[in-house]
């Protein structure tokens, strides 16, 4: 029987798209940016990472663990997410946007880059070798459903912080909006 979830982008492509979005946000953050822009970008980055980490832990890592529980990359993934969560909490608690805020944000960026490199060069290719296309799409659909639940309460904040944070870069704003539009079209095609 034909299943709509087979039309979904694969979970691995969705994870790559999330990584691209968060790196784009990091690249907008500069030491000389206005405090309002820095705070908005920080909120965009922190919320995007929290949702992404929860989605991977619920929808992706358990499947990879079933394939090989002893794998070192999968074993260190959740502790690395927890290190990021500590830095996110520190950034949210810091009401200033000076040198210390920049330092913690750049430490978070460094950890994210290392973590993303392991996922994109080891875990995602392994998933694509070991799981067939239909399964990857099913998991992608599952991740989208969960993303809607996690993002819904934060939708207003996410839009507002994206508009302020990306206001200095037309290209980045267009890319961010295009990503949102694509997601919206996919979701409306699934629900109609």
- By CB under 5 A, name the binding residues for Fe ion: 56, 119
Tell the smallest beta-carbon distance from residue 3 to Fe ion (Å). Answer: 26
How far apart are the C-alpha atoms of 189 and 183, rounded to whole Å? Answer: 10
Q: Tell me how far, at minimum, the Cβ of 55 lies from Fe ion, in Å.
A: 9
In this complex, which beta carbon is closest to Fe ion, that of residue 43 or of residue 119?
119
Task: Provide, rounded to whole angstroms, the least separation between the CB of residue 77 and Fe ion.
Answer: 5
- How far is 146 from 143, CA to CA, in rounded Å? 5
Helices 133-151 + 170-191 axis angle, to 10:
110
Task: State which residue, 46 or 164, has the beta carbon closest to Fe ion.
Answer: 46
- CA 66/CA 7 separation, integer angstroms: 25
Angle, CA 135 vertex, CA 134 and CA 141 arms, to 5°? 90
| Of residues 102 and 107, the one with the C-beta less far from Fe ion | 107
- Residue 103: CB minimum distance to Fe ion, A: 23
**Of 119 and 138, CB closest to Fe ion:** 119
Least distance to Fe ion, CB of residue 37, Å: 25
Instruction: Mark residue 10 as left, alpha or beta (left: phi above 0; alpha: psi -120 to 50; beta: remaining).
Output: beta
User: 31 vs 54, 76, 99, CA distance in Å?
Assistant: 29, 31, 8
Whether the Cβ atoms of residue 84 and residue 134 lie closer than 8 Å to each other = no
Our CB check for Fe ion shows the closer of 56 and 138 to be 56
């Amino acid at each position: 029987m034909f299943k709509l979830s087979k039309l979904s982008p694969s979970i691995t492509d969705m994870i790559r798209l999330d990584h691209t979005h968060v790196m784009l946000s990091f690249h907008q953050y500069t030491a000389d940016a206005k405090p309002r822009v820095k705070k908005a970008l920080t909120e965009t980055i922190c919320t995007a990472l929290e949702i992404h980490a929860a989605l991977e832990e619920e929808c992706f890592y358990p499947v990879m663990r079933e394939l090989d529980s002893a794998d070192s990359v999968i074993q260190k993934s959740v502790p690395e997410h927890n290190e990021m969560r500590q830095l996110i909490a520190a950034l949210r608690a810091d009401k200033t946007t000076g040198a210390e805020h920049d330092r913690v944000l750049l430490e978070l960026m460094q950890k994210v880059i290392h973590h993303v490199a392991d996922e994109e060069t080891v875990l995602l290719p392994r998933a694509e070798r070991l799981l067939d296309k239909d399964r990857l799409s099913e998991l992608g659909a599952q991740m989208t459903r969960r993303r809607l639940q996690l993002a819904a309460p934060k939708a207003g904040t996410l839009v507002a912080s994206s508009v302020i944070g990306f206001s200095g870069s037309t290209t980045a704003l267009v890319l961010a909006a295009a990503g949102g539009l694509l997601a919206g079209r996919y979701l409306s095609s699934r629900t109609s």
